[in-house]
Amino acid sequence: MEHTTRSRGATMAAALLVLVQLLRGGLTQPETYIEVLLMALVLMTTVAAYWLHRSSTWESRLVLGLMAAVSGAGAALTSTIGLPGQDVQTVSPLGVLVLALSIAVIGLLVADRPRTTAGPDTRSPYAS
């Protein structure tokens, strides 16, 4: 697939998502197991964003979309029910930014899906 403005925008939004996740993890000082999960998510999102930047394939779009969905779900769940073993946290600006960037990445990927029109094949089935 070719790179489009939307796929480049999704890559940039994913890069911003990674930076916000790193900043959020550095400021909140989560438990060790949460920090490991957050760093794994940051690493996988970074790899997926680079993959989309290098080759705009459906696999790279799928992986980046899944990473953005996990990031957004984690931010939403942290604000609503809290982390395991901790009380519910207040809604933070970084959490809102993570959720907004996750929605932006998914929205850009969905808006950039390839549009193909299936029409009848008018070519001859025989070699000419």
pLDDT 10s digits, 85-107: 777 777 888 889 999 999 999 99
HSE-up of residue 79 (Cα within 13 Å, Cβ side):
14
User: Does 122 have pLDDT greater than 70?
Assistant: yes
| Through-space distance between the first and last CA atoms of the chain, rounded to whole angstroms | 30
Q: Is the pLDDT of residue 8 over 80?
A: yes
DSSP assignment letter at 112: T
How many Å apart are CA 76 and CA 5, to the nearest integer? 28
User: What pTM was estimated for this model as a whole?
Assistant: 0.80
Residue with more model confidence, 73 or 115: 73
- Domain ranges, ordered by start, for the chain: 5-111
Burial 86-113 (b: 16+ CB within 10 A, else e): eeeeeeeebbebbbbbbebbbebbeebe
Q: Residue 9, class by beta-carbon neighbours within 10 Å (0-12 exposed, 13-18 middle, 19+ buried)?
A: middle
Query: Would the pLDDT of 13 be above 90?
Result: yes
The string of pLDDT tens digits covering residues 27-59 is: 666 677 777 888 899 999 999 999 999 988 889
